[in-house]
Structure 1
Amino acid sequence: MSDRVAAVVPAAGRGERLGGSVPKALRALAGRSLVQHAVDLLTSATLVDQVVVAAPAAELETFAALLGPGVRVIAGGAERIDSVRAAIAVLDETVGVVLVHDAARPLTPPALVDAVAAAVLGGAPAVIPVLAINDTIKQVDDVGRVVRTVSRDVLRAVQTPQGFRRDVLDEAYRLGGMSADGVAITDDAGLVEALGVPVMTVPGAPEAFKVTRPVDLLLAEALLARRD
């Protein structure tokens, strides 16, 4: 396996829950777009050699102007899985490790990026950063009635970047985005799990939260202001 590491950023979504008139990745955070913050942290990581961003087809020039010549911008697809697949297809042939990172996680520490990449380079086929669950978790039925309380001791919240050996991720993306029992798979590690390949974990970072709602954007702004 080559030790070259590439990072893929699927950023073609609209982000309906966040609102606004521009694609989610272009929403401003402390004067810069979410995708600029995300790409900055990836390029600041020691182990990342290449970054590819999958953007809305109508916004390619805007993304390219914001991100500069060092980042390859391509047209993403209608779904996240389509964007990641398209980005993987244009990676340098010498890349052996692929990281997939959400543009909506703009405060992820570069050290976490390196930790995930290093774990894959160290021999793990797939690695995800995780955090312990602090809230009580309930399973409910389709009418909102509690079925049971789920033990949070064995549960983890998953973050990005998620890291993979390139050959493993290539094989996973030949699937159609569904598990064997017909349940939609919502992250790249889920596709790898469906292959029967073990997925390892590393400790995540609280600041690597996902900006999904307006309140998340306010929190990110406050954390950036405090950092500065």
Structure 2
Amino acid sequence: MTNTQRTAAILVAAGRGLRAGSGGPKQYRNVGGRAVIHRALAAFSGHPEIAIVQPVVNPDDMAVFNAAVSDLRHAAPVNGGATRQASVLAGLEALAPHRPDIVLIHDAARPFVSADVISRAIVAASRTGAAIPVVAVTDTIKQVTESGDVTATPERATLRIAQTPQTFKFDVILDAHRRAARERSDFTDDAAIAEWAGLTVTTFEGDVANMKLTTPEDFVREEARLAAALGDIRTGTGYDVHAFGEGDHVWLCGLRVPHTKGFLAHSDGDVGLHALVDAILGALADGDIGSHFPPSDMKWKGASSDQFLKYAIERVTARGGRIANLEVTMICERPKIGPLRDQMRARISEISGVDISRIAVKATTSERLGFTGREEGIAATASATIRLPWSA
């Protein structure tokens, strides 16, 4: 591979995934706390040798796609077709103006593709022009009739399970797809089109973890596998308080709440979010909010606290972890938290990406005792439970 070689990737995400059961297209469901499509796209957008990632999506899914991968690098998505073959051709045509040398074509329903597999794909295409990742067949395979009668037992040593990303010289596979579109529409993968076009397709080492999510049982199995891998369970606590000053509102758990007073604070004074940030950082043993966002730094003057919570969540994600639970308790006489509880939970979920079912907001008073009882300010306590890989 030369230093000037330009490599692109197509992420095929236009399917409906009906065999995966209810819950919408499988590529937008969560597995291990992240959307399937986010995991798949992140593998390519974060790879140093991939210059451009071209998603192909169903036009009905554009809003949910944008929400799922808003933090990732990718080209503007294009609409897929009625078949996988048509969707891949749409992706290839979208890439044509960019003139890549190599293209990797990957199914969004394979969220656990590794950087090593992607690197091997690039090398293989550079060497042979057409290659696919494969894994060995470990079970005996039977060829059967429609009625279930066994007709043959193929030699297991010659069989392989094909995966994606399938990788090709760009001009060659674009030409093959264009030819196929004029004659046939029943190809189930790109290697079959390359074979039909007369190309020799070679293989390279795949990865058993690079499985395709197809059925509800696949999701259950992968959730269990990821949960077992994230066995380092940690809990942190946080506390914050701010005094009242002049104003007509306060920020609480990401909501602007009308009030007769405001907060005296360097940032927006959101005690709920500040306590949550400290709880998450505490679970990570990663300092506290003041060490990451010092009040002496004028950059944070009046800053919105949602960015602090996003930052703390990113610290967990960067270590391969996930949030198991977030809980915050507001301590104040007024404003009343009860009527706003679910709105606060929804807002924390929106900021953090954590499912609302894992977020609790509670409230109590101090029975008119102390500074909160005298309505001189508001306090908040919080706890966070996170799961990290044992190696983190």
Q: Quick check: TM above 0.5?
A: yes
1:223 and 1:46, CA in 2 relative to 1: closer, same or farther beyond 3 A?
A: farther
SS where residue 175 of structure 2 aligns?
A: helix
Aligned residue in 2 for 1:70 = 73
Unaligned runs of 5+ in 1: none
- Tell me which of 101, 121, 136 is aligned to 1:116: 121
Question: Could you tell me how far apart the structure 1 residues matched to 2:222 and 2:168 are?
Answer: 28
Alignment of 1:1-40 (within 5 A): 3-40=5-42
Range with bigger deviation, 130-139 or 72-81: 72-81
CA RMSD in angstroms comes to 2.1
Report the AA paired with residue 153 of structure 2: T
- Tell me which of 203, 206, 214 is aligned to 1:204: 206
Once the two structures are superposed, what CA deviation does each residue of 1:115-170 show, in whole Å capped at 9, x if it has no partner? 1012212x211010001101111111222111121111101000110000001111
Range with bigger deviation, 38-47 or 190-199: 38-47
Question: Could you tell me how far apart the structure 1 residues matched to 2:128 and 2:182 are?
Answer: 23
Report the AA paired with residue 114 of structure 2: P
Aligned residue in 1 for 2:193 = 191
Once the two structures are superposed, what CA deviation does each residue of 1:26-55 show, in whole Å capped at 9, x if it has no partner? 111122211101001112323211111111
Aligned residue in 2 for 1:134 = 138
* 1:11–1:102 contact (8 Å) kept in structure 2: yes
Aligned residue in 2 for 1:89 = 93
Report the AA paired with residue 140 of structure 2: T
* 1:137–1:152 contact (8 Å) kept in structure 2: yes
Question: Could you tell me how far apart the structure 1 residues matched to 2:101 and 2:90 are?
Answer: 17
Question: Could you tell me how far apart the structure 2 residues matched to 1:224 and 1:175 are?
Answer: 42
- Tell me which of 175, 180, 184 is aligned to 1:171: 175
TM (norm. structure 2) is: 0.54
Question: Could you tell me how far apart the structure 1 residues matched to 2:34 and 2:185 are?
Answer: 37
Question: Could you tell me how far apart the structure 1 residues matched to 2:66 and 2:185 are?
Answer: 36
Question: Could you tell me how far apart the structure 1 residues matched to 2:185 and 2:155 are?
Answer: 22
TM (norm. structure 1) is: 0.91
Larger Rg: 2
Kindly state the Cα deviation for residue 183 of structure 1 after the two structures are TM-superposed.
Answer: 9.9
Kindly state the Cα deviation for residue 194 of structure 1 after the two structures are TM-superposed.
Answer: 0.6
Say yes or no: does 1:151 pair with 2:151: no
SS where residue 164 of structure 2 aligns?
A: coil
SS where residue 127 of structure 1 aligns?
A: strand
What is the total number of aligned residue pairs between the two structures? 225
Kindly state the Cα deviation for residue 109 of structure 1 after the two structures are TM-superposed.
Answer: 0.9
Question: Could you tell me how far apart the structure 2 residues matched to 1:159 and 1:137 are?
Answer: 18
- Tell me which of 214, 222, 225 is aligned to 2:224: 222
1:3 and 1:223, CA in 2 relative to 1: closer, same or farther beyond 3 A?
A: farther
Question: Could you tell me how far apart the structure 1 residues matched to 2:223 and 2:13 are?
Answer: 20
Does 1 or 2 have the higher relative contact order (CA < 8 Å, sep 6+)? 1
SS where residue 163 of structure 1 aligns?
A: strand
